[in-house]
């Protein structure tokens, strides 16, 4: 199993031969093992409900949510760490569930439609455990994750950031970030599908999303984008910090400002979309998803950016790379 995972990771992160050739074999193996020691629970991470106080989806009353919900429509779920399967079962609240023991953590996956492991089985990080679903008390298919550290309930988002940070350290140590840089064309091919998805979901022009991403992150090269998957320069609000969500400190308008960290570029895009759908940007909501000019002006007028040339800079990117074509394509599909 470990040898197979090692070959998978080598292919998955496209290790450049030149970078690895300069490393001692033991060092290379250490960092490859480090990378494969963790895994995200899904192929793509989109948080639909965070840890903490929220309105109960059934009663509408305030209730503490002791986990996080990830968007997952009957998708394969993976072990996040090497672990032992402690419990497999069903209850009216959690539906079909799996509880894993990894070090001092116990981690539960709930509302599953299928379970492919048995109690007392040892599993590796990245191993398939089952399939998400909507069993138990659920309004629709998703993956609910909860965790405890030494028996005390904890925010599972910290596990996602641990996975991210561990893999980023391994990638940096292997020298993979030094030569990896997406061209603007590759950048757009990578993120245009998700931008069009956001347009269909929220009505925000895909061209606006992509131009803001490109401008704010330097086409994905900024430290904030590479280490925190924050492609929009979104600052951490007091509510974000109070909920214990991850952030990093960077100099911007002022020194040592706090910026949100996300588990993936897609989560960053989702958060950005929800931000633009807030009351602060209500002026934008009257414009069509093909009206990128007024959307940009509305965003700037609402105080999104302090750069006086923000609108012009984003429009320049849109026009140069013909990003408006994604607006029309998303509107037709």
pLDDT at 19 over 60: no
Q: What is the pLDDT of residue 24?
A: 58
Task: Place 177 in a pLDDT band, splitting at 50, 70 and 90.
Answer: low
Residue 227: C-alpha distances to residues 166, 217, 223, 246 (Å):
11, 11, 6, 12
Residue with tokens 């040898």: 3
CA distances for 153 relative to 89, 105, 158, 247, angstroms: 20, 10, 12, 21
Judge whether residue 161 has pLDDT over 60: yes
pLDDT value of residue 36: 87
Percent of the chain with pLDDT over 70: 90
**pLDDT band with cut points at 50, 70 and 90 for residue 315:** very high
Report how far residue 33's alpha carbon sits from residue 18's, in angstroms, rounded to the nearest whole number. Answer: 19
**Average pLDDT over every residue of 53-73:** 90
- The 10s digit of each residue's pLDDT in 122-158 is 999 999 999 999 999 999 999 999 999 999 999 998 8
Whether residue 8 is predicted with pLDDT greater than 50 in this model: the reply is no
On the question of pLDDT at 282 being above 50, the answer is yes
Going by pLDDT thresholds of 50, 70 and 90, the confidence category of residue 1 is very low
Q: Mean pLDDT of all residues in the chain? A: 88
Q: C-alpha angle with apex 52: 47 to 58, nearest 5 degrees?
A: 80
- Average pLDDT of span 304-320: 92
∠ Cα 73 146 109 (to 5°): 45
Q: Which two tokens stand for residue 152?
A: 């005390």
pLDDT at 22: 52
Model pLDDT, residue 306: 84
Q: With bands split at pLDDT 50, 70 and 90, how would you rate the model's confidence at 13?
A: very low
Size of the chain in residues = 333
Q: What gap in Å lies between CA 128 and CA 2, rounded to an integer?
A: 14
Q: Are 151 and 104 in contact (CB under 8 A)?
A: no
In the predicted structure, residue 61 carries a pLDDT above the cut 70: yes
pLDDT band at 159 (very low <50, low <70, confident <90, very high): very high
Which span out of 49-53, 104-108, 238-242 was modeled with the highest average pLDDT? 104-108
Of the two residues 24 and 60, the one the predictor is more confident about is 60
Q: Assign a CATH topology to domain 47-155.
A: Glucose Permease (Domain IIA) (2.70.70)
H-state helical runs in 13-55: 17-21, 25-36
The yes-or-no verdict on residue 199 having pLDDT over 50 is: yes
- Residue 181 has phi, psi (to 5 degrees) of -150, 120
Question: Domain limits of the chain?
Answer: 47-155, 184-332
Cβ neighbour number for residue 109 with a 10 Å cutoff = 27
Q: How distant, in Å, are the alpha carbons of 224, 251, 306 from that of 254? A: 16, 6, 12
Q: Fold for domain 184-332? A: Lysozyme (1.10.530)
Other CB atoms within a 10 A radius of the CB of residue 93 amount to 11
Q: Which two tokens stand for residue 208?
A: 């606006």
Contacts of 201 (CB under 8 A, 6+ apart): 273
Q: Are 155 and 51 in contact (CB under 8 A)?
A: yes
203-223 pLDDT per residue, tens: 999 999 999 999 999 998 888
Report the alpha-carbon distance of residue 136 to residue 90 in Å, rounded. Answer: 8
47-155 with 184-332: one CATH topology?
no
Identify which has the larger pLDDT, 66 or 28. 66
Distance between CA 106 and CA 169 in Å, rounded? 25
Residue 15 has pLDDT above 80, yes or no: no
Under the banding of pLDDT at 50, 70 and 90, the label for residue 180 is low
CA-to-CA dists, residue 228 to 126, 161, 261, angstroms: 22, 9, 4
Asked if pLDDT for residue 176 goes beyond 70, the answer is no
Q: What is the pLDDT of residues 246-255, one digit of tens each?
A: 888 887 767 8
- The pTM for the full model equals 0.58
- What is d(CA 159, CA 230) in angstroms, rounded to the nearest whole number? 18
Q: How far is CA 174 from CA 3, 27, 82, 126, 184, in A?
A: 19, 9, 22, 20, 25
Q: What are the φ and ψ backbone dihedral angles of 116, each rounded to 5 degrees? A: -115, 10
Give the mean model confidence (pLDDT) for residues 313-320: 94
Query: Which pLDDT value is given to residue 300?
Result: 94
Q: Name the DSSP letter for residue 235.
A: B
């Amino acid at each position: 199993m470990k040898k197979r995972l090692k070959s998978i990771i080598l292919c998955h992160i496209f290790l450049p031969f030149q970078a690895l050739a300069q490393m001692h074999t033991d060092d290379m193996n250490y960092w490859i093992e480090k990378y494969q020691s963790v895994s995200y629970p899904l192929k793509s991470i989109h948080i639909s409900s965070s840890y903490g106080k929220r309105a109960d989806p059934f009663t509408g009353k305030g209730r503490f949510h002791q986990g996080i919900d990830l968007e997952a429509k009957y998708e394969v779920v993976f072990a996040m760490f090497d672990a032992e399967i402690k419990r497999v079962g069903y209850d009216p609240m959690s539906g079909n569930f799996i509880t894993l023991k990894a070090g001092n953590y116990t981690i539960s996956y709930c509302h599953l439609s299928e379970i492919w492991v048995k109690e007392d089985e040892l599993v590796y990080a990245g191993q398939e455990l089952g399939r998400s679903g909507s069993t138990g008390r659920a309004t629709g298919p998703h993956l609910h994750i909860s965790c405890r550290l030494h028996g005390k309930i904890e925010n599972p988002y910290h596990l996602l950031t641990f996975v991210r940070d561990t893999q980023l350290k391994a990638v940096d140590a292997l020298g993979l970030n030094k030569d990896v840089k997406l061209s603007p064309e590759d950048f757009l091919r990578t993120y245009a599908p998700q931008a069009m998805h956001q347009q269909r979901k929220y009505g925000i022009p895909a061209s606006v999303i992509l131009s803001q991403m490109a401008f704010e992150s330097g086409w994905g090269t900024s430290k904030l984008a590479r280490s925190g998957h924050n492609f929009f320069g979104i600052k951490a609000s007091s509510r974000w910090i109070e909920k214990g969500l991850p952030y990093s400190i960077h100099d911007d308008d002022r020194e040592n400002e706090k910026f949100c960290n996300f588990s993936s570029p897609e989560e960053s895009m989702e958060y950005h979309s929800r931000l633009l759908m807030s009351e602060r940007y209500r002026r934008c909501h009257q414009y069509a998803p093909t009206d990128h000019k007024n959307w940009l002006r509305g965003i700037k007028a609402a105080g999104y950016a302090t750069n006086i040339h923000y609108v012009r800079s984003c429009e320049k990117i849109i026009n140069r790379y013909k990003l408006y074509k994604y607006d029309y394509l998303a509107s037709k599909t």
